[in-house]
């Protein structure tokens, strides 16, 4: 099993710091540019005012000193305001990080009569009726996960030319395979270090010649998309659970469904 973390999550603090610095610089530049200009316009107005009996107020040096104090004080106030805002946002994000639940999907393996784990789903009888493939979502954190819901499922077929999986928008119907998530309920609550079991219906069909429609072997990637929130319902998270599945037909024409690698990815 592997868990793929979204690299964007790690880049957020850097982007926030860059944004904070950029705002401070822009506002400081605006003050530096417009404050002297405004002071100069005020001096011109005082010196050339047509209003009678208006006394001459201060020298040019006095006004320059006054402008300097305004500029310095303004920059200090803006920097202080931006710092307070940045620290407030940082505290909020840290609080959310501390209550963030971490969920992962896992297949539920079979055990033989000797108690040995087999990476195979029991698909006996899948020709006559649906059989259920069990899997689970586990809360591996110390935080409560709320509103756990299965959103969607996807099928990807293996491309031998690119050695990768390509999404199959039409599903597996043309291969005589049906996979459908069984959802009896949604919006589950997962306590810390607990799990919720799910089942996926699986069925295969023969062609007109009594052969499996997909041939003797078939590989595909089965993907579940699910969402959940933190205990306060502030942030909604979305994850992908991916299972590499392989269907084989043995010499007795018996069908086997094996589980390969499986992955968890935060969106």
Helix (H, G, I), strand (E, B) or coil at 160: coil
d(CA 158, CA 177): 15
The overall pTM is greater than 0.85: no
Bridge partner list, 182: 199
Give the pLDDT band (50/70/90) at residue 39: low
Percentage of the chain modeled with pLDDT above 90 = 34
Encoded tokens for 66: 């006054």
- Name the region of 93 (left: φ>0; alpha: ψ -120 to 50; beta: rest): alpha
Asked if pLDDT for residue 183 goes beyond 90, the answer is no
pLDDT higher than 90, residue 40? no
Distance CA 198, CA 132 (A): 9
Confidence of residue 195 (pLDDT cuts 50, 70, 90): very high
The radius of gyration of the chain's CA atoms, rounded to the nearest angstrom, is 32
Helix then strand then coil, in percent of the chain rounded to 5, is 30, 40, 30
pLDDT average, residue stretch 56-67: 64
C-beta of residue 72 within 8 angstroms of C-beta of residue 111: no
**Distances, alpha carbon 99 to alpha carbons 51, 93, 143, 150, 194, in Å:** 66, 10, 6, 21, 16
CA 244 to chain centre: 21
pLDDT number for residue 265: 94
């Amino acid at each position: 099993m592997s868990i793929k973390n979204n690299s964007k999550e790690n880049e957020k603090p850097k982007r926030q710091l860059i944004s904070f610095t950029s705002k401070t610089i822009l506002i400081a530049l605006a003050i530096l540019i417009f404050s002297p200009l405004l002071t100069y316009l005020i001096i011109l107005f005082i010196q050339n005012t047509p209003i009678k009996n208006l006394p001459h107020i201060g020298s040019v040096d006095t006004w320059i000193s006054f402008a300097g104090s305004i500029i310095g004080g303004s920059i200090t106030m803006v920097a202080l305001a931006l710092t307070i805002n940045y620290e407030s946002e940082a505290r909020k994000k840290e609080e959310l990080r501390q209550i963030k639940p971490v969920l992962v999907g896992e297949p539920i393996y079979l055990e033989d009569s000797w108690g040995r784990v087999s990476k195979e789903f029991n698909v006996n009888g899948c020709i006559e009726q649906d059989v259920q493939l069990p899997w689970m979502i586990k809360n591996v954190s110390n935080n409560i996960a709320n509103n756990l819901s299965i959103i969607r499922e996807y099928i990807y077929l293996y491309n031998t030319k690119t050695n990768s999986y390509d999404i199959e928008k039409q599903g597996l119907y043309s291969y005589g395979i049906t996979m459908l998530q069984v959802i009896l309920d949604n919006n589950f609550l997962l306590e810390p270090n607990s799990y919720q079991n799910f089942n996926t219906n699986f069925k295969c069909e023969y062609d007109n010649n009594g052969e499996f429609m997909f041939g003797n072997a078939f590989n595909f990637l089965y993907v579940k998309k699910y969402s959940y929130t933190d205990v306060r319902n502030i942030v909604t998270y979305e994850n992908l659970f991916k299972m590499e599945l392989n269907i084989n037909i043995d010499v007795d024409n018996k069908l086997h469904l094996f589980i390969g690698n499986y992955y968890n990815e935060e969106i």
